[in-house]
Amino acid sequence: MSTQKMVTLSTITIGDILSGSICSGSKKVDPDAILPFIIVPIILVTGTISLNTTVILMGMTGMGVLYVISRPRKKNRSPFFFSWTLSSMLYMYLVYQLVVVKFFQITIIENFVFVTLVACTCYLFYKMKAIADHELTGSSKGKEYSPVLTADSQYCQICQIEVNERLFHSIWWDCCVFRPNYKYFLFAQICAFATIVVGTNYGLTTACHPFMSFGSIVLPENCDHVYAQFRTALIFVTCIYGLGYLLVVILVLLHQLYNVIPKCENPLQKFVDAFDV
Ligand SMILES: [Zn+2]
């Protein structure tokens, strides 16, 4: 690295980072995209102080989420929420690999199951976003998106574009969910559900006293002592945070079951129609 470049890098301040004045190529770094990577670990580490701190922080996080989803959609036009999802996934996974696994209570097969579930979830969400980006921006062809508007076209206030066959916009994944990517969204949520159930179970049975139930399934029993050590407290707080995410995933899946799936083409009905004369 040249001396000039080193001097330039050494003069960058946190203020520069937060004000988004660092350019990578021609692209500015949005401070909204960085903040979650700072806030999420602060929440997880501060929560290890005591049970009361954990309850207060998780309650505040939950209320923050309720506030965000209750305000007008166009106000949520920010990369903050997608970064929040990414940073949560990253830190929960790091706590699992760097703290939970170090207790040597997870077998190789259990670890393999969890890592496979994480990989499937990431792949499905990646496909969902890739299809949305490809369809809406036509980035692969390097041309502007010019939709052929149909009766079911809807204007997305966050993407600021007319989207054909749009179902809803997910601020947490920063993309529109419409018919072409809906199956990936749905299977990713189901996979995320399984991943969080398995991950929080491994974490809680490591940090708390485990007991055998339903044959060979291990469940956490007594978590009274977790705040005595930083490592067990961090696992416990991360698992509580993960269970909060699990609640959100369950609500999303229930919402799909009652509101969105009936609007989609029913493949069984199509099959029945084919034989209708
Ligand atoms: Zn959208």
Q: Residue 108 domain-assigned?
A: yes
Q: Residue 4 domain-assigned?
A: no
Angle in degrees, CA 92, 94, 95, rounded to 5: 65
Measure 157 CA to ligand 1 centroid, in angstroms: 7
Burial class (CB in 10 A: 0-12, 13-18, 19+), 112: exposed
Burial class (CB in 10 A: 0-12, 13-18, 19+), 102: exposed
Tokens of 241: 């945070």
Q: Residue 247 domain-assigned?
A: yes
Q: Residue 16 domain-assigned?
A: no
Contacts of 215-220 with C-beta under 8 Å, sequence gap 24+, read: none
Strands 166-170, 175-178: parallel, antiparallel or unpaired by DSSP? Answer: antiparallel
Instruction: In whole angstroms, give the CA distance from residue 145 to residue 111.
Output: 43
pLDDT band at 18 (very low <50, low <70, confident <90, very high): very low
Instruction: In whole angstroms, give the CA distance from residue 237 to residue 162.
Output: 42
The radius of gyration of the chain from alpha carbons, rounded to an integer in Å, stands at 22
Measure 175 CA to ligand 1 centroid, in angstroms: 5
Report pLDDT digits (tens) over 222-267. 788 899 999 999 999 999 999 999 999 999 999 888 876 666 655 5
Q: Residue 3 domain-assigned?
A: no
pLDDT band at 16 (very low <50, low <70, confident <90, very high): very low
Measure 242 CA to ligand 1 centroid, in angstroms: 26
Q: Residue 2 domain-assigned?
A: no
pLDDT of residue 148: 56
pLDDT of residue 178: 86
pLDDT of residue 165: 79
Number of domains within the chain: 1
Measure 154 CA to ligand 1 centroid, in angstroms: 10
Report pLDDT digits (tens) over 79-127. 899 999 999 999 999 999 999 999 888 889 999 999 999 999 999 999 9
Report pLDDT digits (tens) over 120-174. 999 999 999 999 888 777 644 444 455 555 566 778 888 888 888 788 888 899 8
User: Crossing angle, helix 80-95 and helix 230-255, to 10 degrees?
Assistant: 130
| Percent above pLDDT 70 for the chain | 76
Q: Are 179 and 89 in contact (CB under 8 A)?
A: no
Q: Residue 82 domain-assigned?
A: yes
Measure 130 CA to ligand 1 centroid, in angstroms: 13
Report pLDDT digits (tens) over 164-206. 878 888 889 988 888 888 999 999 999 999 999 999 999 999 9
What is the domain extent for residue 38?
31-268
pLDDT band at 215 (very low <50, low <70, confident <90, very high): low
Q: At residue 235, what is the residue type?
A: I
Using CA atoms of 81, 139, 143, 162 in order, give the dihedral in degrees to the nearest 10: -40
Q: Residue 273 domain-assigned?
A: no
**Residue indicated by tokens 């305000």:** 71
